[in-house]
Amino acid sequence: MLRRATGLPVVFGGAVTPANQLVLSHFHGMHGTSLHGLRVGSGRGLGGTAVAMGTPVRVNDYASTRAITHEFDPMVVGEERLTSVFAYPVAVRGTVHGVLYGAVRGNATVGDRAIRLAGAIAHGFAQDLDMPSLHTQAALRELAEVARLVGDPTLRDRLRKVHQDLGGEPVPSPVPTSLTPRELDVLRLAAVGSSNREIASELGLSAETVKAYLKGAMRKLGVHNRTAAVHAARSSGVL
């Protein structure tokens, strides 16, 4: 936990840019503004070390530690007079997207409880970052529908690849419009485990006619048995 110290605990942080630079943007409990907008390169200072390592980093005396570089001492130590400081990365799928800092002044040290709390907050941020927005999900659904309906197989495959690269679920194959209504009726009953004789009784057909419909559906779906035909029809969105 954060023990009693000179002044209130300090909390700040920022996001990591595509160029892998941490930009400090949010602050609480600061004395001045010298850290506002500061850009921290990977491996530099405490935050840059957290970015480079992808793990939390803590120092009990920022000014004297040899574990980090010290180009930010005039701001961190000189103006803010921070002593014990930790930096906790917000990582999604191995990539650091931001860093949370906690610090105290004086002789106190940042304890394990504070690190655990920061970890819970960082994990929540990471989950939010890893979850596509509602607009993204809607766009992916629209793209999936376009990929399903497009007639050109080459274009359809390219759209499917783009859709999956953006994080969408696999796009079902296009509905085989050449299946006749009777072939679809037979497949629907086969899908629930009905035998050829049971399908024939349900539809008022002969068993041989049912077999012919199944063979026609299998040929159109490019499969060789009724189980595969049912699976292909489901994947196509028919059943």
Whether the predicted pLDDT of 152 surpasses 70? no
Whether the predicted pLDDT of 63 surpasses 90? yes
- The pLDDT of 54-75, averaged and rounded, is 95
The pLDDT value recorded for residue 221 is 85
Q: Do domains 10-130 and 135-235 have the same CATH topology?
A: no
Q: Where are the domains positioned within the chain?
A: 10-130, 135-235
Higher pLDDT, 154 or 169: 154
User: What superfamily would CATH give domain 10-130?
Assistant: GAF domain (3.30.450.40)
pLDDT > 70 fraction of the chain, expressed in percent and rounded: 80
Q: Which amino acid is at 108?
A: A
- The pLDDT of 84-113, averaged and rounded, is 93
The pLDDT value recorded for residue 182 is 92
What are the tens digits of pLDDT across the range 167-212? 666 655 555 558 898 999 999 899 888 999 999 999 999 999 999 9
The pLDDT value recorded for residue 2 is 39
Confidence of residue 87 (pLDDT cuts 50, 70, 90): very high
Confidence of residue 14 (pLDDT cuts 50, 70, 90): very high
Fold held by 135-235: Arc Repressor Mutant, subunit A (1.10.10)
Q: Which amino acid is at 28?
A: H
Q: How would DSSP label each residue in 172-234?
A: PPPP-TTS-HHHHHHHHHHHTT--HHHHHHHHT--HHHHHHHHHHHHHHHT-SSHHHHHHHHH
